Structure 1
Amino acid sequence: MNAIVLLLVGLTALALGYFFYSKFIAEKIYRLEAGFQTPAHTMRDGVDYVPTNKFVLWGHHFTSVAGAAPIVGPAIAVIWGWGPAFLWVVFGTVFFAGVHDFGALWASVRNRGKSMGMLSGSYIGRRGRNLFLVVIFLLLLMVNAAFAVVISNLLVSTPTSVIPVWGAIVVALVIGQLIYRFKVGLLWPSIIGVAVLYGLIWLGSLYPIALPETVLGMSPNSTWIVLLFLYAGIASLLPVWVLLQPRDYINGLQLFVGLGILYAAVLIASPTIVAPAFNSAVPAGTPSIVPLLFVTIACGAISGFHGMVASGTTSKQLDKETDARFVGYFGAVGEGMLSLAAIICCTAGFATLVDWQAVYSSFGGGNVTAFVNGGEALISAGLGLPQNLGATLLATMAILFAATTMDTGLRLQRFVVQEAAELAGFKVGTMLGTVIALAVCLALAFGAGSGGSGGMIIWPLFGTTNQLLAALTLSIITVILIRKGRNPWFTGIPMAFLMVMSVYALVVQLGTFYNDGKWLLLVMDIVILIAALWVAFEAAIAMRKGREAGPGDAVDVPNA
């Protein structure tokens, strides 16, 4: 089949989801109010709570949630064929991710910008809240530690990406000053910023930068990981308008342009998808498509991490409640578009089926490298760009997505540390909370002599933990809707589906970890499974009580 068909069908479905389904959800289910005073105004502090233009905030939200996972997940999952991956990305984005991300943002804004972990205490009880925070902390630990490894690997394998990746920080700092300090409109900083970023990509392709074999006794990968965490720590301490917002915004524009370039290459090159729609000859050792498809592709179909970002940082910057539809739902659509591109690159970016099978000779064989190499071939064939430049463009895209997720992820982990301390009865300041978050991430990354790659040890649990968190987030939103007397089915059905698939996957993984002797993963799997089932039980009780109590039981407290 021609890849153009897949591209057009996918984009059309995502567009219909945004223009029609999200409008229905906004008007009939969440019932957004233009005059509602958001926490960005009522709790404004100039650091975390800052009213923000919806386009800038969309850039922050989109690039924060769209890390490496919406590329890695589809790149791995097409081993079962492009058909299941495509259907899960499209239907998941429209009916699962959009409602989830939008709902988490709305629920947090209606409750003084509280995170989903703290909201769980308000709506499903103290025990549920404590266990919810455990799941959140473990997921953030996986994201921060593992994404540092992914970025460092790409910086080493694609040294042409070093200049544009680090140069983007300088561009963001300048844009932040122009917009907030000098009150310059968005148009010219946006145009000039994107132009400079693409100039840096061209410059990077001419002057690759590779670290020495050892730096203070560390390998290049380890050195990059330390530098990345130092940067993320500093970024998480700065007011959001200084670096986080402008970096995410300008990256969002650059990345959307990059997607446009990739899509244009597909339209011009008109490549054929060489991979089968449904692969009946999967390599030995490949797990069953059910339930693994639904946890392998998390980000790009639905992801619990999105709810953490929506309720952790995005809700504190929402200027108007009606902006939540654009920021939350369209942010999910943007990630679906990225996953759609990953599917096309990893199935149509190969010359023959034999070439594709050589890469997908084992489960996990397809990864970010398959995306970069496949996309590079498509861009070269469609637009005639040098392959070196195409590889730099796509590697930079992947790194910037992952890096902006790390920026937000470490800030969120600091919030969780502070919230947990508050629940324990003592106060942890911003600096100490950041130090604790950094220490835990670095301890995992460099533990047991792993040389910085320790974050990948617990990565096999990311997909299931992420989807479980999405199910638990939807359970809280569902409780809120029930207590408000509104239709809960639009969140309740996705919640039930994800809960079943995630628990099923955790049980399957229990047997795998036991047979392989991976005792740390086995113990963590059991802890996550027990915590998730307990929270789900508490949520079910809250839903039943909500129905018995009737509408009007959920009180919005933005000004309390």
Structure 2
Amino acid sequence: MNSLVLAVIGIALMVAGYLLYSKYLGKKVYRLDPAFKTPAHELNDGVDYVPTNKFVLWGHHFTSVAGAAPIVGPAVAVIWGWLPAVLWVTIGTIFFAGMHDMGALWASQRHKGQSMGMLSGKYIGPRGRALFLVVIFLLLLMVVAAFAVVIKNLLIGTPSAVIPVWGAILVALVIGQMIYRWKINLLVTTIIGVVALYSLIIVGNANPIVLPDPILGMSPATFWIVALFVYAGIASLLPVWVLLQPRDYINGVQLFIGLGILFGSVLLSAPAIVAPAINQNVPEGTPPLVPLLFVTIACGAISGFHGMVSSGTSSKQLDKETDSRFVGYFGAVGEGLLALGAIIAATAGYRTLADWEAVYSAFNEGGVAAFVEGGGNILNAGLGLPVGLSATILATMAVLFAATTMDTGVRLLRFVVQEAGELVRVKIGGLLGTVIALVVAVGLVFSLGADGAGGMLIWPLFGTTNQLLASLTLSVIAVILLRKKINPLPVMIPLAVVMIMSIYALVLQLGTFYAEQNWMLLVLDVVILIASLWVALEAFIAMAKARGGIEDEDDADNKPVASVEG
């Protein structure tokens, strides 16, 4: 199979999904209204609620939801063969992820920017809300802790990425001033930002930074983790327009260009895919394709974390309700394209099947390393870029994705802590909420030693937890649609698929953890399974009641309603 054919088909299908299916969702399902007064305008506080240009907001949303997961998941899942991975990424992006992200964004901004956790209390019930928050908290904790370790490993393993990764923060601060204070044209601002970022990549490639050991009394691994959490804590407290928005926007543009470079290299070199379409010779110990494929590839097909970003930050910055289609659905398309690029890099970036099998000698042996190595070889073959520079470009892409997700994750974790405080009638301010979130996350990361190994301690549960959260988010959206007398089938069908596969995978993991005598993961698995099943049961009861109930009028304060998007 030629990778060029695969790239063309995948890109064409995802673009068609945006042009056709997202338009159907906007008109017939979510009924987007350009006259609806969004929370960004109604509750504008200059910190979290800020009306934002849809292109800038798309950049924030895309880079926040993407992270390293759409690289890691697909680059691991190709161990079963490239065909199942491509099918799930393509179908998932078009019919699952785009609908899910767009729906969570729509539902939240229709309710004053409330998170899915808060909405679950209204539409499912108080018990459902409490259990929903448990699942959300655990998922965000996994993301923040694991991504700190992933970024640390990349900064140590690819020292040429250090300058562009940290320099991107300074670029973002300037970009924020250019957009909001100096009112400079967005196109001009974008060009300046992209040129600055790629200049930093060239400088970083020529001047790799290797930290001395020790540094400030810490090992390089400890130092990077501490620095990342300090940065994430500060970023989560700053007004979104100062750092979060501009950083995510300019990173989003730069990363989209990076994807263009990768796919352009595929166009010019058209490398053959050396991996099998369906791998009949998987290494011993590889779990079954069904259901594990559907939780190994979460981000890039459908991801519960997206619903947290959509309802946690993006909904508070939406300028017009009709922007939900571009920000939510096209944000998912961007992640799907990244997942497709990761699949191609991890299957066509090697010269022979034997080379590929040497990398995929065991389950979980692929991931970011396979993406960087394989993608670097494709860039070298297609554009003639030196392998070292190619690796720097791709490693910087991966780190910037992970870093933007990490700082958004800390902000969301702070929101969850504050919402939990509301449940027990304790008011928790932004600073205290951030401190609590950081203490828990840092404690987990260093629980197994100063190298941060604890950050990956509960990561094996990420895939199933993430997909269960997606199904719970879809449950809330389905109840809202039923109460509004709108056909819920575009939501209900993906909901059934994702929930069945996630619960199936979670049950299989129970057996694995028991056999390994990993009692902590076993207990967490049981907690997540019980909480999810309980929320799902209450959601289905709420759906049954909604079918015969009155129409939901909760967003009446934001009317009048004008013509819907067509």
Other-structure match for 2:563? none
1:75 maps onto 2:75 in alignment: yes
1:361 maps onto 2:361 in alignment: yes
* 1:313-352 correspondence runs (5 A): 313-352=313-352
* 1:197-212 correspondence runs (5 A): 197-212=197-212
Q: CA shift at 1:213, angstroms? A: 2.1
* 1:327-476 correspondence runs (5 A): 327-449=327-449, 451-476=451-476
CA distance in 2 between counterparts of 1:557 and 1:521 reads 45
Q: CA shift at 1:215, angstroms? A: 2.3
* 1:244-283 correspondence runs (5 A): 244-283=244-283
Other-structure match for 1:131? 131
Q: Which runs of 5+ in 2 are unaligned?
A: 560-566
CA distance in 2 between counterparts of 1:2 and 1:175 reads 40
Other-structure match for 2:554? 555
C-alpha spacing 1:244/1:259, structure 2 compared with 1 (3 Å): same
After the TM superposition, list the runs of 4 or more consecutive aligned residues in structure 1 that deviate by more than 4 angstroms. Answer: 557-560
Other-structure match for 1:285? 285
Q: Which amino acid letter does the alignment assign opposite residue 391 of structure 2? A: A
CA distance in 2 between counterparts of 1:459 and 1:493 reads 28
CA distance in 2 between counterparts of 1:283 and 1:200 reads 40
Write out per-residue CA displacement over residues 187-223 of structure 1, whole angstroms, 9 at most, x where no aligned residue: 1110011001000000000000011122244321121
CA contact (8 A) 1:546 1:553 kept: no
CA contact (8 A) 2:65 2:309 kept: yes
Give 3-state SS (helix, strand or coil) of 1:321's partner.
coil
Write out per-residue CA displacement over residues 232-262 of structure 1, whole angstroms, 9 at most, x where no aligned residue: 0000010000000000000000001100000
Other-structure match for 1:171? 171
CA distance in 1 between counterparts of 2:173 and 2:509 reads 44
CA contact (8 A) 2:169 2:247 kept: yes
Q: Which amino acid letter does the alignment assign opposite residue 332 of structure 1? A: A
Q: Which amino acid letter does the alignment assign opposite residue 161 of structure 1? A: A
CA contact (8 A) 1:146 1:453 kept: no
Other-structure match for 2:156? 156
CA distance in 2 between counterparts of 1:349 and 1:448 reads 35
CA distance in 1 between counterparts of 2:117 and 2:428 reads 17
Q: Which amino acid letter does the alignment assign opposite residue 396 of structure 1? A: T
Other-structure match for 1:25? 25
Give 3-state SS (helix, strand or coil) of 1:549's partner.
coil
Other-structure match for 2:41? 41
Other-structure match for 2:562? none
CA distance in 2 between counterparts of 1:271 and 1:366 reads 19
Aligned length: 559
Other-structure match for 1:53? 53
CA distance in 2 between counterparts of 1:280 and 1:160 reads 38
Q: Which amino acid letter does the alignment assign opposite residue 444 of structure 1? A: L
Other-structure match for 2:498? 498
CA contact (8 A) 1:307 1:473 kept: yes
Other-structure match for 1:98? 98
Q: CA shift at 1:185, angstroms? A: 1.6
CA contact (8 A) 1:3 1:271 kept: yes
Other-structure match for 1:523? 523
CA distance in 2 between counterparts of 1:396 and 1:449 reads 27
What TM-score, normalized by structure 1, do the two folds share? Answer: 0.99
1:307 maps onto 2:307 in alignment: yes
What TM-score, normalized by structure 2, do the two folds share? Answer: 0.98
CA contact (8 A) 2:222 2:450 kept: no
CA contact (8 A) 1:480 1:554 kept: no
CA distance in 2 between counterparts of 1:218 and 1:317 reads 39
Q: CA shift at 1:558, angstroms? A: 5.7
Q: Which amino acid letter does the alignment assign opposite residue 553 of structure 1? A: D
Q: CA shift at 1:557, angstroms? A: 5.6
Q: Which amino acid letter does the alignment assign opposite residue 282 of structure 1? A: V
Q: CA shift at 1:451, angstroms? A: 2.9
Give 3-state SS (helix, strand or coil) of 1:250's partner.
helix
CA distance in 2 between counterparts of 1:339 and 1:202 reads 25
Q: Which amino acid letter does the alignment assign opposite residue 465 of structure 1? A: T
Q: Which runs of 5+ in 1 are unaligned?
A: none
CA distance in 1 between counterparts of 2:126 and 2:556 reads 19
Give 3-state SS (helix, strand or coil) of 1:447's partner.
coil
Q: Which amino acid letter does the alignment assign opposite residue 144 of structure 1? A: V
CA distance in 2 between counterparts of 1:28 and 1:463 reads 31
RMSD value, Cα: 0.9
CA contact (8 A) 1:112 1:557 kept: no
Q: CA shift at 1:452, angstroms? A: 1.4
Q: CA shift at 1:151, angstroms? A: 0.3
CA distance in 2 between counterparts of 1:459 and 1:514 reads 17
CA distance in 2 between counterparts of 1:342 and 1:557 reads 44
CA distance in 2 between counterparts of 1:456 and 1:173 reads 31
Q: Which amino acid letter does the alignment assign opposite residue 556 of structure 1? A: D
* 1:209-220 correspondence runs (5 A): 209-220=209-220
Q: CA shift at 1:450, angstroms? A: 5.5
Other-structure match for 1:483? 483
Other-structure match for 1:241? 241
Which one is further off, 298-307 or 182-191? 182-191
Give 3-state SS (helix, strand or coil) of 1:36's partner.
coil
CA distance in 1 between counterparts of 2:363 and 2:498 reads 23
Write out per-residue CA displacement over residues 260-288 of structure 1, whole angstroms, 9 at most, x where no aligned residue: 00001000011000000000110000000
Write out per-residue CA displacement over residues 153-192 of structure 1, whole angstroms, 9 at most, x where no aligned residue: 0000000000000000000000101111111120111001
Other-structure match for 1:232? 232
CA distance in 2 between counterparts of 1:259 and 1:476 reads 34
CA distance in 1 between counterparts of 2:52 and 2:352 reads 48
CA distance in 2 between counterparts of 1:31 and 1:295 reads 31
CA distance in 2 between counterparts of 1:161 and 1:357 reads 28
CA distance in 1 between counterparts of 2:431 and 2:482 reads 39
CA contact (8 A) 2:36 2:558 kept: no
Give 3-state SS (helix, strand or coil) of 1:449's partner.
coil
CA contact (8 A) 1:300 1:338 kept: yes
Q: CA shift at 1:448, angstroms? A: 3.6
Give 3-state SS (helix, strand or coil) of 2:315's partner.
helix
Write out per-residue CA displacement over residues 38-88 of structure 1, whole angstroms, 9 at most, x where no aligned residue: 000000000000000000000000000000000000000000000000000
1:538 maps onto 2:538 in alignment: yes
Q: CA shift at 1:2, angstroms? A: 0.6
Which one is further off, 500-509 or 177-186? 177-186
CA contact (8 A) 2:14 2:90 kept: yes
Other-structure match for 1:194? 194
CA distance in 1 between counterparts of 2:557 and 2:322 reads 15
Give 3-state SS (helix, strand or coil) of 2:149's partner.
helix
CA contact (8 A) 1:375 1:394 kept: yes
CA contact (8 A) 1:22 1:99 kept: yes
CA contact (8 A) 1:112 1:558 kept: no
